[in-house]
Structure 1
């Protein structure tokens, strides 16, 4: 895929990728539908995927055009062609073009008097209807081709909870959110980003709950994007991070949560956050996001609060194991052996007899080997990928120990580290531990436990300095917010979070039930 160079602009400049900012001369639509079709095809350079159908032998002639594969041909016949033909034949004298257009059962997207706007609507998946004697074009929406079936998301599975996941259709995704939040204050605002791809992006939020400053900041950054191509929400996330606070764009920690579950996105919107939906991808971005939000799962709110709290604490422990365990092994065996028991020290020393590499190289080789196995298992066909990863890890680990290249202890350390990295609910967030692990191992090999402590302080300073759309990344811990602790490290029961009646406070939801 060819990448184009782009230049960072000021945040106050208008978006160049939107349809309105393209200052092109407009060609007026004529009364002849044949001439309009010719001009539209000229704008599209007579592309072979444009389907044109003429109906010129009727009392009110008309013509329609659409893009193959993007629009469902059967829906075009049922919703557009048949109603127009039947209404034309039923009354040959009194039917005007406008009355004929009203007979179309599909909803209008818009009515335009410009050839260029009609062509742009065509590439966005609309059906264009031209009526003889009418100097307007009718852009019909809602006739898209079938999309992927709604299934459970593979990246965010749960034991208990809904089995619905977003798909690549933006219309279906907005409908899934509407089913979750039946509130008249739920807003969807659309815009197009990418001068070549013209990818539709929708901003969803709840009026009255959303932070207006965050909403303005998000719109500023979206309008400042100068890109020719946007294919996935990950590309949009990288562009949005570029306009953040200095130092945010190169952070290994994701500043937006990527979610594939409608219930998780609905919960975030209910909390006052903003969802960014991108066409052609099932992943939705949530702004602002915090460090602790990546340890939360939708299943936490479907299980008992005590069990959910235990699992959440286990996620924190697993993340720190995946980040610190190899470095602690290298630091203790190299610089600080006095910190472990004598019997364990003797056992480790015995295992390392005859190993030609120092502990850092030993751990580094095993970490790189496992990363290669993990990526190879992901890219291989699903039927054999997991088997190859498991067999490869067992065979390579055992062979390396038998060959005297690594000690059994480092195999245990690397295996536990790898398993712990899979516990995080967010795959994007677990990547940060995978990257930082190698830098921390380098500090541990150079300065021991002091190197780990120094790198941890640098990491903590970096985390505190980050922000997501202007909101502190480490909130509600830094700055500290007592009310926010109800759902951060712990998941308190709902009756404590929602101000129950028997505590002497009013709960409007319980009043409605009673």
Structure 2
């Protein structure tokens, strides 16, 4: 793994400080080749006229060579045919008309970083500055429907790995001059670009300041995905619950921005982070606002019920069959007793075995090739469950409980909160096997205390329930009609 050899040193820090941009074009090219190890994809082209020489240097695959040859090079050659570099680079920068963004720098490290980010570097004879022509262009995945968050009604667009494309998807939905994009560079080795997106005057200023401060102070050698950044900027202390929402949908991010939240996006990742997050927000989807309010409210309640089933159903089965048989109806109790007759394991071991087997099948289905993954996981679950019951290792009732639990865990729209329920399910089963219903109540009480103490970017995680806010109850468990819930924008400045 690369982490073993990673050090908190930038890849160019050891050489950039001793190198400078010189008047010799060839020497500048040699210095770049020395710093980068003469890579195969480094392209440099030298052009010479009577008294003039200049060179273009770029990384193949990071720029559009077609645009370079069609617009940049002809423009440069036309200028140099009529002028020379004897008047200096400053005169050049004031008169050349390159149809791309043009910047200058005399810092070798800045120039090298720009080169690695997809800029074309222009060196001119007798000039001690490098010209940075922004022409980033590389192959990206086409915009498709997100596979992790599907819906029946709504837009089909999803984020891709290119930050420029993702920001465009946001701008298309929010054509407001107050939309802001603040950029950061994180990861000492990777130098990954991170963007914080918000609407000025509407965003929660406290959360914005906390997010920007934590991103600035994020210390890591490499960051490749927003999940790695999320772990660095979360509030201190362990929690099985996520405190930032991750999504691939531009409409979800746009809706969050109009509600005063902020979004964090990263180059190379199709997932955006939304904060501050609340516990209730993990049970709400963008589709809730595309359907009628009565259907949306019904579906939200179904998600709450499904979350509780995924979290507590196996533990409840263990508690009832082990300690509280008097709470089970007589006919059902007789049926369960008949099923469990002759079984070698107690209820807790039986539940742990079946839950573990299902988690293995779930993980195997995800990691296997897509054409065969779902089929193998479904067939495996049916075959193993039937074989275990036939062999007398488990009872049919526990197979039903585990199946209902698995189905309920897929009903949540966010994978991260469903993962939290999967983790806590095993802990809750141990409490139920120790103290029955009382163990379940004790663990639930501890969990509620933990949830109330959580913060997301400094804001209460259980808002608007704790602290309680009556005004914000219109869009929690119940989704009120759009004509009823009139939202007032909290603009701090006039447009």
Residue 205 of structure 1 pairs with residue 198 of structure 2? yes
Write out per-residue CA displacement over residues 288-342 of structure 1, whole angstroms, 9 at most, x where no aligned residue: 1110111111111111111111111111110000001000000000100111110
The whole-number CA distance in structure 2 between the counterparts of 1:226 and 1:93 is: 47
The secondary structure found in structure 2 opposite 1:118 is helix
Distance 1:416 1:281 in 2: 33
Q: Which runs of 5+ in 1 are unaligned?
A: 8-15, 500-505, 509-514
Unaligned 5+ segments in structure 2 are 491-495
Per the TM alignment, residue 150 of structure 1 is displaced from its structure 2 partner at its CA by 0.7
Shift of the alpha carbon at 1:100? 8.6
Cα gap change, 1:128 to 1:58, in 2 (>3 Å): farther
Q: Secondary structure at the match of 1:289?
A: coil
Distance 1:278 1:4, change over 3 A: farther
Secondary structure at the aligned position of 2:344 is classed as coil
Following TM superposition, by how much is the alpha carbon of 1:22 offset from its aligned partner in structure 2, in angstroms? 10
Moved more, 123-132 or 204-213: 123-132
Verify the 8 A CA contact 1:26 1:115 in the aligned structure 2: no
Partners of 2:301 and 2:447 lie apart in 1 by 21
TM-score (norm 2): 0.93
Distance in 2 of aligned mates of 1:65 and 1:86: 19
Please give the alpha-carbon distance, in whole angstroms, between the structure 2 residues aligned to 1:215 and 1:507.
18
The answer for the alignment partner of 1:373 in structure 2 is 361
2:262/2:275 contact within 8 Å kept: yes
User: In structure 1, what is the equivalent of residue 331 of structure 2?
Assistant: 343
Note if 1:354 corresponds to 2:342.
yes
- 1:105 deviates by 1.6
> What aligned pairs does 1:296-335 form with structure 2 within 5 A after superposition?
296-335=284-323
How far the C-alpha of 1:407 sits from its partner, in A, is 0.7
User: CA 1:405–1:79 in structure 2 vs 1: closer, same or farther (change >3 Å)?
Assistant: farther
Superposed displacement of residue 23, structure 1: 11
Superposed CA deviations along residues 83-105 of structure 1, whole A, max 9, x for unmatched, are: 3234444x357997526973322
**1:3 alignment counterpart:** 3
The corresponding residue for 1:285 is 273
Aligned twin of 1:10: none
Give the 3 Å change call, closer, same or farther, for CA 434–94 of structure 1 in structure 2: closer
Please give the alpha-carbon distance, in whole angstroms, between the structure 2 residues aligned to 1:352 and 1:333. Answer: 10
CA distance in 1 between counterparts of 2:430 and 2:442 reads 12
Structure-2 change in CA distance of 1:100 and 1:48 (3 Å) = farther
SS at match of 2:3: coil
TM-score by length of structure 1 reads 0.89
Match of 2:36 in 1: 44
Q: C-alpha separation between the residues in 1 aligned to 2:257 and 2:132? A: 32
> Structure 2 vs 1, CA of residues 188 and 470 (structure 1 numbering), >3 Å: closer, same or farther?
same
Q: 1:103 aligns with which of 97, 112, 120?
A: 97
Aligned to 1:129: 122
1:449 aligns with 2:437: yes
What is the match of residue 235 of structure 1? 228
Cα RMSD (Å): 2.5
Q: In the comparison of the two structures, how many residue pairs are matched? A: 487
Indicate the SS of the match to 1:238: helix
1:68 aligns with 2:30: no
Change (3 A) 1:313 1:276: same
Determine if contact 1:17/1:192 at 8 Å carries over to the other structure. Answer: no
Is 1:54 the counterpart of 2:42 in the alignment?
Answer: no
Structure 2 SS opposite 1:231: coil
The DSSP-based 3-state class of the residue aligned with 1:496 is coil
Question: Are the counterparts in 2 of residues 72 and 146 from structure 1 also a CA contact under 8 Å?
Answer: no
Residue 377 to residue 339, structure 1, CA distance change in 2 (3 Å)? same
CA distance in 1, matches of 2:467, 2:24: 66
> Any idea what SS the aligned residue of 1:494 has?
coil
Q: Is the 8 A contact 2:184 2:216 kept in 1?
A: no
Within 2, Cα distance between the matches of 1:388 and 1:114?
A: 57
SS in 2 for 1:368: helix
Matches within 5 A, 1:416-495: 416-495=404-483
Aligned mates of 2:241, 2:59 — CA distance in 1: 41
Mapping for residues 169-248 of structure 1, pairs under 5 Å: 169-241=162-234, 244-245=235-236, 247=237
Q: Where in structure 2 are the equivalents of 1:75-114 lying within 5 Å?
A: 75-89=67-81, 91=82, 98=92, 102-108=96-102, 110-114=103-107
Match of 2:254 in 1: 266
Q: Which piece of structure 1 moves more, 49-58 or 342-351? A: 49-58
Higher mean displacement: 266-275 or 95-104:
95-104
Distance 1:288 1:119 in 2: 37
CA distance in 2, matches of 1:33, 1:390: 64
Secondary structure of the 1:63 match is strand
Matched residue, 1:410: 398
Q: In the TM superposition, what whole-angstrom CA distance separates every residue of 1:6-26 from its partner, at most 9, and x where no partner exists? A: 99xxxxxxxx9999x999637
Deviation at 1:107, TM superposition (A): 2.0
Describe the SS at the equivalent of 2:317: helix
1:41-85 deviation digits (Å, cap 9, x = unpaired) = 233233333211111247643211111222233233234223323
What is the distance in 2 between the residues matched to 1:261 and 1:26? 46
Contact kept in structure 2, 1:29 and 1:135, CA below 8 Å: yes
CA contact (8 A) 1:273 1:288 kept: yes
Shift of 1:135: 2.6
What displacement does 1:139 show?
A: 1.4
Change (3 A) 1:58 1:212: farther
Q: Take 1:93 and 1:263, find their aligned partners in 2: how far apart are those partners?
A: 52
CA 1:215 to 1:370, structure 2 compared with 1: closer, same or farther past 3 Å? same
What is the SS of the residue equivalent to 2:21? coil
